[in-house]
Structure 1
Amino acid sequence: MGDVVIRMLAVVTAICCLSAVPAYAADDGTEKLFTFRDPAITESSGLAVSPTHDGVFYTHNDSAAAPTFYAVDGRGRTKATFQVQGAQARDWEAMAATKDPETGRGVLWFADIGDNLDGAWPDISVYRVMEPQTLRSASLPATRYRFRYADGARNAEGLMINPRTGRLYVVSKEFAGSVYAAPKKLRTGRTNILRKVASAPLMATDAAYAPDGSSYVIRTYFSATLYRPSGETIAKVTMPELEQAESIAYTSDGTALLVGSEGPRSPVYRVPLPERATPTPTPTPEGAQEKAPDESPDEVAAGAGASGLTIKDVLIWLAAAATAVGVITFLARRTR
């Protein structure tokens, strides 16, 4: 029982810290875009904008579901339901959408990366599916890539892909969260190693890259933080109040964020990015727009604002931790 209490208090502590982090208020244009109408969409955990079909969005359910995803229109109506052939769905937590630079076809990525037991799975998987050219329900083939963290198993809920380089990233959901980079070339014949390249906010629930590759966003239950590809913090943006904030994606023009929640008939909101938070892309030499995955974590974290935390954030965290320790001590004495 003691272990359960400690884990529950740890979560409470994380939430207290997250809610105390100051964030920029979003512009007045925040609006509910649509509500998922399909009764089969009960735990929308991943969200992505179609790279080739205008006004189409993709989502999938969380754990204990089949390897299924849905194409939805701007009114929340399901246009097609797709099964991913040969895929497992232990705990699908995120998805991303890109465009194949050679063919121009859309590519969808589904991340089976959840691990609530922090080490239950020896490896995790990401499935690559070519976006259907016709929005009719079907079964689609997938390419499976297996991954393992260089520094040990962990829980994760964020997946993003840099459209400039094609590199895949996983964002862990922890007190000391991290961004992990996959190798430049993914291989199906062996396990790909994920290496830490930057820090992430506490308890991150999703992540996404901007369509032009000039920034990426990591969201938590209460806010979202925008970063440059180097890991430097650009700004924080407040999020709409949601029952269980899970998903985030950029709009196709990169001027706003789309955020979703789990639960039946859950809403999707459009949150405009403040002008001051919109990065201005600058030309960079080939290969210089992001940190190399083999750099040490210390080198990456040395960049300005890599973790997105301030001294005030740290003090709040310490205060919350001290409170949690006091509660744990009290409960321990009462249950002896």
Structure 2
Amino acid sequence: MRSYPSRPAGLAVPAAALLLLLGAACPAVAADGKPDRDFTIEDPRITESSGLAASRLHPGIYWTHNDSDDGPYVFAVDSRTGKTVATITMRGVGEPRDVEGISIGPDGDIYVGDIGDNLDGSWNHVWIYRFPEPKALRDATVTATQYDVKYADGARNAEALMVHPTTGRVYIASKNEDGGGLYEGPAKLTAGSTNTFRRVGEVPWVTDGAFSPDGGSLVLRSYFSARVYGFEGGRLGESRAVAAPFQRQAESVTYTADGSALMFGSEGARSGVVRVEVEGGGKPGSGQEQGKPSGGGSPAERGAGAGRDQGEEDGKGSVGLGAVIIVGVAALWFALKRKRGQG
């Protein structure tokens, strides 16, 4: 579980103001009341939203979950209001350890990825939980199927779980500052035995990902950027950058159910979800725009954009004002902490 440092006593006013700015950078509910627009997650229980999945049965509803140590819970949030309209409790899955991703398959089932490993490979297996998307939006307890997962090349940390919308095959993208891997699961997951995922591609630092509704594109995001890859035959194709909003802790992304836009989410209390229009269905080589924020949300979130991967040479020093603010505040906080320790 990630924790945010509390404000140290005597924190300089400018730094405190910057922290306040970061905390307030979240969109309000769309004034027109339409679904799939910028919204704020209002539920005080959801403080570490680490994954998003657009409902297939309920237009405008997004499924999310907290990070580690929260329990077997999945929440349905209405993008029209930001309110939670259903809380699902999974039973039969043991105690979730570090839930980081969520996706919906072509069978209409919700897949929940208990795949995080903040110690970077200390756990020899992780889990995927699966249950049918509820037809009625109300609090319920459901029996979920649990799958044991291992990686063919050893344990690793991951935060992105994606189910292909036509084949039903499950993919996981590992998280590593120096670049991770795209892992492909077996054609069919099997309960009661180990499901081995094999590396089939190289990816940048990834905090979440999602397939387009037609399965022809895969979006992967990091803290400061996002890329859309062509996807055919189970393998990554050409990629291009798309606009990614600046968010305090960028953790999640999904396509809208109709594929017309991407929804970017973050962690934190009252965290914001920002819609980014993607013309041409988000497919590489479409000749259309790279994507643009919908116009809602705060200036900080709308203005992030660019989508340069952290490993790109031409992206050095250009991750944007938001990154500079974060680094500056962190440096000041640690400096003051050290000063107090020496006093």
Question: TM-score under structure 2 normalisation?
Answer: 0.70
Q: Is the 8 A contact 1:93 1:158 kept in 2?
A: yes
Q: Is the 8 A contact 1:32 1:267 kept in 2?
A: no
Q: CA deviation at 1:233?
A: 2.6
Partner residue of 1:179 out of 182, 204, 207: 182
What secondary structure is seen at the aligned counterpart in 1 of 2:150? strand
Matched with 1:99 is: 106
What secondary structure is seen at the aligned counterpart in 1 of 2:100? strand
| Residue pairs, 1:233-272, within 5 angstroms | 233-272=238-277
CA distance in 2, matches of 1:189, 1:148: 13
Q: Is the 8 A contact 1:235 1:277 kept in 2?
A: no
| CA gap 1:149/1:121 in 2 versus in 1, 3 angstroms | same
Report the residue type matching 1:162 in the other structure. H
CA distance in 2, matches of 1:99, 1:232: 22
What secondary structure is seen at the aligned counterpart in 1 of 2:241? strand
Matched with 1:116 is: 118
Partner residue of 1:43 out of 44, 48, 51: 48
What secondary structure is seen at the aligned counterpart in 1 of 2:123? coil
**Alignment of 1:83 onto 2:64:** no
Q: Is the 8 A contact 1:34 1:267 kept in 2?
A: yes
Q: CA deviation at 1:86?
A: 2.2
| CA gap 1:309/1:123 in 2 versus in 1, 3 angstroms | same
What per-residue deviation string (whole Å, max 9, x for no partner) do you get for residues 35-80 of structure 1?
0111111110111110111121111000111110111112211111
Question: TM-score under structure 1 normalisation?
Answer: 0.72
Partner residue of 1:164 out of 153, 158, 166: 166
| Residue pairs, 1:184-333, within 5 angstroms | 184-201=187-204, 203-229=205-231, 230-275=235-280, 277-279=282-284, 312=314
How many pairs align?
Answer: 255
Q: Is the 8 A contact 1:51 1:98 kept in 2?
A: no
Report the residue type matching 1:273 in the other structure. V
Q: Is the 8 A contact 1:51 1:99 kept in 2?
A: no
| Residue pairs, 1:11-50, within 5 angstroms | 33-50=38-55
Q: Is the 8 A contact 1:225 1:233 kept in 2?
A: no
What per-residue deviation string (whole Å, max 9, x for no partner) do you get for residues 236-272 of structure 1?
1121111100000001111210010000000000011
Report the residue type matching 1:190 in the other structure. S
Report the residue type matching 2:151 in the other structure. Y
Q: CA deviation at 1:274?
A: 4.2
Runs of 4+ in 1 over 4 A off after TM superposition: 307-314
What per-residue deviation string (whole Å, max 9, x for no partner) do you get for residues 117-155 of structure 1?
122212000001111111110101101111101111000
CA distance in 2, matches of 1:276, 1:208: 13
Report the residue type matching 1:227 in the other structure. Y
Matched with 1:63 is: 68
CA distance in 1, matches of 2:281, 2:141: 43
Matched with 1:288 is: none
Q: Is the 8 A contact 1:44 1:62 kept in 2?
A: yes
Report the residue type matching 1:91 in the other structure. D
What per-residue deviation string (whole Å, max 9, x for no partner) do you get for residues 212-250 of structure 1?
111111100011111111312331112111110000000
5+ residue gaps, structure 2, are 1-35, 287-308, 319-343
Matched with 2:292 is: none
